[in-house]
């Protein structure tokens, strides 16, 4: 193996040398092709067989191969057809860089006999690159005293494309100070220079931002941009300038040492050290002046006491000098003023406190004022705050009285702090202030007021006695005993409502208590009045309506109306053997004295003699057959149904129903020809017949009684309505459960009018007229009738 590997390089060198010699002997001119870069792969470059004068298929027979001489395998030869195809998309910039022209050399090698052909592929450039600057921003620092025409070199953009597709021109965003010039290097590349057109002024514009754009010559042209930020460097070309050339100030003669007289200010538009201003005093040949100045802030302060009688005016010259030695001056004229150095005096003679509210115009205080100064400095003006119900009335010379404008309201404001201000007319004006506090005493002029216009309280039925059910609250704007409130229950106009046995109230805090357990079915709501009385003289009061709503609890089990349930005779329904699946056997009707979801009823079949033969609709209680009857089915069936409400916890009632299978309604007995009759069985059949007859008779009597009772109730409806009336549901309910109101409603197909006696402590129902559509009357009624 090692020997074979050692010989391989030598063999390769011999083959390569032979190829080069043959190439030298070939001496044929190269075949040149040209195509643009980025051409898609699969592109047909040429047909080599045709260009070389070879026959179709000769390339394949002679084992034609393409040698790339170190280049990427860009070309692929189809030897069968002689087509030279592009194997992958060429990128001129990647293959040749900046070399122009970009020529790739390939060799075509044929065998039998050995023959070589030189092939050149020239890639022409397309504009597939945009000019790019090396950085996103370029910073230039230019002194503001640079003369127009100065040139500043800028960084050039790079574009991998060549020729006309490379960068051809530079432009700059419009501005007042610069333009850009495009120059060419020896190799043809372009570079920009920035030329100053107009002198810069840092004080006018300290910084400029330009956008330099490089555009190539492609079609369409591509461009790239860079931000050129120019900082204008400052020079000392501005002297300081005072805000005012003359400062005219006035200083009282009693100003303390170090008091601020005035602050001068000068501005220098230069920056840095050239813009730092220092202030100083120019005394000249005059006597030393009693002022000093802060070199940094320009504050002029007193260094000695002033005396108006010695000197009443000073003229000061101030100099402002910047760091470059430029300076300017201003003048400060100081006028010394004579001062008013005696403040007025105020003396209270009489004071009335407190003042009863609702009293007419009342004198609160009498006082006098005095000032030791003379002239305008001794003239005085008295005043109090605005928006107060008081005013000052001058009486004799410098005497004043403080009087109320009208009756005061303690509830609006119980205390007033009145500041009497006495000012003289001197310059500056001196002021003396004296504050007096005036209290307003209370009168019982406000009745109690409840926090709500009415109160609604909710109580769960079956509550424990003495249960706190709510609190009512009233407020009184008065104070003291005038604001002490006592609560009480007011007599009710409802003679049947014994309020004292139901509700009690705490007279001090308004807490309401239920004295006994409430029953929603007996009393669903009631109203009463509560009074609130203060302890003023005379006493004032108010009242509010309190409404108590009793919330229903699930304390009543469902009650079955049909079929009637009694221990003496179970209810029996007849079912023909020929009944189809879904045949209506009977319908269980039940009510619940509760309300809301506590009265939503559902029906369920718990137990049956023949499971799967009967089914009960949960939402309406209809008992129907689930399949066809057969001879093997028992003749008698006992069904146990459960009626359950939707309360928490739920309550329920059971219904027992007997179903007797018959061959037809014309034969109300059970025929069993295949079974040997026994005496006990005959007696049982006879008993069943008697029960059916008795049930039909009882049903007829019951319907007649109900009709008579409804007629009597219709005559007494007006009186019954005044006593609370009856709740007659007038709509059908849908869904999984049957919605039962407080008075009790039935299913979708049945509607009963039910009244609960409000004056009775019992839980009996009065069942009135059943409204039963004729097509829903059970078959038992039809048979018995």
Whole-Å CA distances, 636 to 86, 143, 629, 685: 97, 121, 12, 11
Long-range contact set of residues 99-103: C-beta below 8 Å, sequence gap at least 24: 100/125, 100/162, 100/163, 102/37, 103/32
pLDDT for position 675: 36
pLDDT for position 732: 38
DSSP 3-state of 22: helix
DSSP 3-state of 173: coil
Could you tell me whether strands 246-252 and 327-337 are parallel, antiparallel, or unpaired per DSSP bridges?
parallel
Q: Where are the beta strands (DSSP E) in 296-344?
A: 299-302, 313-322, 327-337
CA angle 762, 767, 772 (to 5 degrees): 160
pLDDT for position 769: 37
Could you tell me whether strands 572-576 and 652-662 are parallel, antiparallel, or unpaired per DSSP bridges?
parallel
pLDDT for position 657: 87
User: Which 8-state DSSP code applies to residue 29?
Assistant: P
Q: Which residues contact residue 323 at a Cβ distance below 8 angstroms, ignoring those fewer than 6 apart?
A: 236, 272, 273, 274, 275, 276
Nearest CA-CA partner of 589 in 540, 643, 638: 643
DSSP 3-state of 274: helix
Q: Which structure tokens are listed for 302?
A: 């007193």
Q: Which structure tokens are listed for 577?
A: 């053997």
CA pseudo-torsion sign 303, 307, 308, 312 = negative
d(CA 208, CA 334): 46
pLDDT for position 667: 44
Residues of the chain with pLDDT under 70: 1-29, 69-72, 98, 283-287, 308-309, 374, 566-570, 664-685, 718-785
Element (H, E) at 280: strand 277-282
Reduce the secondary structure of 515-549 to three states and give it as a string. Answer: CCCCCCCCCCEEEEEEEEEECCCCCCEEEEEEEEE
**Distance, first Cα to last Cα, the chain:** 120
d(CA 534, CA 446): 9
Whole-Å CA distances, 396 to 84, 342, 347, 509: 129, 23, 14, 56
Strand partners, 347: 368
pLDDT for position 211: 92
Residue 583 gets the label, from left (phi > 0), alpha (psi -120 to 50) or beta, of: beta
Nearest CA-CA partner of 216 in 163, 267, 174: 163
d(CA 239, CA 275): 9
Are the beta carbons of 245 and 333 closer than 8 angstroms? no
pLDDT for position 719: 59
Q: Which residues contact residue 501 at a Cβ distance below 8 angstroms, ignoring those fewer than 6 apart?
A: 515, 516
d(CA 31, CA 17): 23
């Amino acid at each position: 193996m090692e020997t074979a590997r050692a010989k391989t390089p030598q063999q390769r060198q011999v083959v390569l040398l032979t190829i080069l010699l043959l190439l030298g002997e070939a001496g044929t001119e190269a075949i040149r092709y040209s195509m643009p870069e980025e051409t898609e792969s699969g592109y047909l470059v040429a047909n080599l067989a045709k260009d070389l004068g070879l026959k179709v298929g000769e390339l394949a027979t002679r084992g034609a191969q393409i040698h790339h001489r170190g280049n990427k395998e860009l070309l692929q030869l189809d030897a069968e057809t002689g087509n030279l195809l592009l194997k992958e998309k060429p990128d001129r910039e990647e293959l040749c860089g900046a070399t122009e022209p970009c020529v790739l050399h390939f060799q075509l090698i044929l065998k039998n006999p050995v023959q070589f052909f030189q092939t050149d592929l020239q890639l022409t450039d397309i504009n597939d690159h945009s000019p790019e600057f090396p950085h996103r921003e370029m910073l230039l620092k230019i002194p503001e005293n640079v003369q127009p025409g100065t040139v500043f070199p800028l960084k050039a953009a790079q574009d991998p494309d060549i020729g006309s597709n490379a960068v051809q021109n530079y432009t700059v965003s419009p501005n007042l100070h610069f333009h850009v010039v495009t120059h060419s290097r020896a190799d043809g590349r372009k570079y920009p220079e920035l030329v100053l057109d107009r002198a810069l002024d840092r004080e006018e514009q300290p910084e400029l931002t330009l956008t330099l754009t490089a555009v190539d010559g492609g079609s369409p042209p591509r461009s790239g941009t860079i931000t050129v930020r120019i900082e204008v460097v400052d020079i000392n070309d501005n002297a300081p300038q005072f805000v005012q050339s003359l400062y005219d100030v006035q200083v009282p003669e009693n100003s303390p040492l170090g008091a601020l007289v005035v602050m001068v200010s000068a501005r220098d538009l230069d920056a840095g050290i050239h813009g730092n201003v220092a202030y100083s005093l120019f005394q000249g040949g005059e006597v030393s002046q009693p002022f000093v100045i802060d070199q940094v802030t320009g504050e002029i302060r007193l260094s000695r006491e002033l005396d108006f009688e010695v000197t009443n005016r000073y003229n000061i010259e101030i100099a402002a000098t910047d760091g470059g030695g430029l300076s300017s001056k201003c003048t400060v004229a100081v006028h010394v003023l004579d001062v008013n150095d005696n403040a007025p005096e105020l003396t209270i003679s009489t004071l009335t406190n407190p003042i009863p509210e609702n009293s007419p115009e009342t004198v609160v205080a009498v006082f006098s004022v005095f000032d030791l100064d003379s002239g305008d400095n001794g003239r005085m003006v008295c005043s109090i705050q605005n928006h107060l119900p008081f005013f000052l009335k001058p009486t004799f010379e410098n005497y004043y009285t403080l009087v109320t404008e009208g009756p005061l309201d303690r509830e609006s404001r119980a205390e007033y702090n009145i500041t009497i201000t006495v000012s003289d007319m001197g310059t500056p004006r001196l002021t003396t202030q004296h504050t007096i506090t005036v209290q307003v005493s209370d009168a019982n002029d406000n009745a109690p007021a409840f926090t709500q216009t009415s109160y609604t309280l909710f109580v769960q039925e079956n509550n424990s006695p003495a249960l706190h059910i709510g609190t009512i609250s009233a407020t009184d704007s008065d104070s003291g005993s005038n604001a002490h409130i006592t609560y009480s229950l007011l007599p009710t106009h409802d003679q049947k409502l014994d309020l004292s046995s139901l509700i009690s109230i705490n007279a001090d805090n308004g807490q309401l208590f239920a004295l006994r357990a409430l029953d929603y079915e007996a009393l669903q709501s009631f109203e009463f009045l509560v009074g609130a009385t203060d302890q003023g003289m005379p006493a004032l009061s108010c009242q509010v309506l309190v409404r108590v709503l009793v919330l229903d609890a699930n304390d009543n089990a469902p009650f079955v109306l049909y079929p009637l349930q009694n221990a003496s005779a179970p209810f029996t329904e007849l079912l023909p053997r020929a009944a189809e699946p879904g045949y209506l056997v009977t319908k269980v009707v039940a009510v619940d004295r509760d309300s809301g979801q506590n009265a939503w009823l559902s029906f369920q079949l718990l137990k049956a003699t023949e499971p799967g033969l009967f089914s009960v609709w949960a939402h309406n209680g209809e008992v129907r057959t689930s399949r066809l009857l057969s001879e093997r089915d028992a003749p008698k069936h006992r069904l146990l149904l459960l009626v359950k409400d939707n309360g928490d916890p739920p309550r329920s009632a059971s219904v027992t129903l007997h179903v007797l299978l018959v061959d037809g309604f014309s034969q109300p007995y059970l025929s069993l020809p295949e079974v040997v009759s026994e005496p006990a069985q005959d007696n049982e059949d006879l008993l069943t017949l008697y029960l059916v007859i008795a049930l039909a008779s009882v049903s007829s009597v019951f319907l007649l009684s109900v009709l008579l009772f409804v007629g009597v109730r219709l005559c007494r409806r007006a009186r019954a309505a005044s006593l609370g009336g009856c709740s007659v549901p007038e709509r059908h309910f849908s869904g999984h459960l049957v919605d039962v109101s407080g008075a009790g409603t039935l299913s979708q197909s049945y509607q009963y009018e039910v009244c609960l006696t409000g004056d009775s402590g019992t839980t009996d129902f009065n069942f009135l007229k059943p409204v039963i559509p004729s097509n829903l009357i059970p078959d038992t009624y039809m048979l018995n009738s």
